[in-house]
């Protein structure tokens, strides 16, 4: 009987030994599969984030295309507005009835034109009397002025325009500067 017990114990150990080896193999395999699963989940999250970024960029590009589609067309129309404004300046001194009628027609045409531009988010920059802003104004000259603060717009040669808040054309301006004080004369120093 002791032999039978020894034999049974040996058989049990033989049976357990292969199972323990199989258990170790399964454990390693499970760990490898869990690592692969984690890597696949990470890759899936990254791909989802990339897809979301691509979608967001595409939406922004479409929005910009809609907002600024009129940019080239508006740039081509600005000289027409400038010509109408110059024409109105020239006819302001005319006193005869034909010139007055023509002036009224030009004023109405210009108003209609400007209203149309405004409906399409094109706004004029007429910075007369405002501080000089290098982002929206182009200084054509500087003039000494005792009446205006330094870096103030004194004259506007040509209006600037913004399209949906983006600069389409800078305003061409004359900017004030502080007057130069002459050096004191010899008589004043004494």
d(CA 190, CA 184): 10
The token duo for 73 is: 């067309």
pLDDT at position 67 is 76
Asked whether the beta carbons of 132 and 175 are under 8 A apart, the reply is yes
Please, which pLDDT band fits residue 184 given cuts at 50, 70 and 90?
low
- Average pLDDT of the residues of the chain: 83
Q: Under 8 Å CB-to-CB from 71, ≥6 apart: which residues?
A: 163, 168
Q: pLDDT over 90 for what percent of the chain?
A: 47
pTM confidence score: 0.62
Domain ranges of the chain: 1-69, 70-120, 122-181
Predicted confidence (pLDDT) at residue 28 exceeds the cutoff of 60: yes
pLDDT at position 47 is 94
CA atoms lying within 13 Å on the CB side of residue 168: 27
Q: Among 3.90.25.10, 1.10.3470.10, 2.40.50.140, 2.30.22.10, what is the CATH number of 122-181?
A: 2.30.22.10
């Amino acid at each position: 009987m002791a032999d039978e017990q020894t034999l049974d114990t040996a058989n049990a150990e033989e049976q357990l030994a292969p199972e323990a080896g199989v258990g170790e193999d399964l454990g390693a395999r499970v760990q490898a599969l869990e690592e692969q699963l984690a890597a696949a989940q990470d890759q899936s999250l990254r791909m989802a984030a990339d897809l979301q970024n691509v979608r967001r960029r595409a939406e922004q590009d479409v929005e910009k295309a809609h907002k600024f589609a009129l940019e080239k067309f508006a740039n081509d129309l600005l000289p027409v507005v400038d010509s109408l404004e110059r024409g109105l300046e020239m006819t302001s001194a005319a006193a005869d009835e034909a010139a007055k009628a023509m002036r009224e027609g030009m004023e109405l045409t210009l108003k209609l034109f400007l209203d149309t531009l405004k409906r399409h988010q094109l706004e004029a920059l007429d910075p007369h009397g405002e501080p000089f802003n290098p982002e929206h104004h182009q200084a054509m000259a500087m003039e000494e002025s005792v009446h205006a603060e330094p870096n103030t717009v004194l004259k506007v040669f040509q209006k600037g325009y913004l399209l949906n808040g983006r600069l389409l054309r800078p305003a061409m301006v004359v900017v004030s500067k502080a007057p130069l004080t002459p050096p004191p004369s010899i008589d004043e120093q004494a």
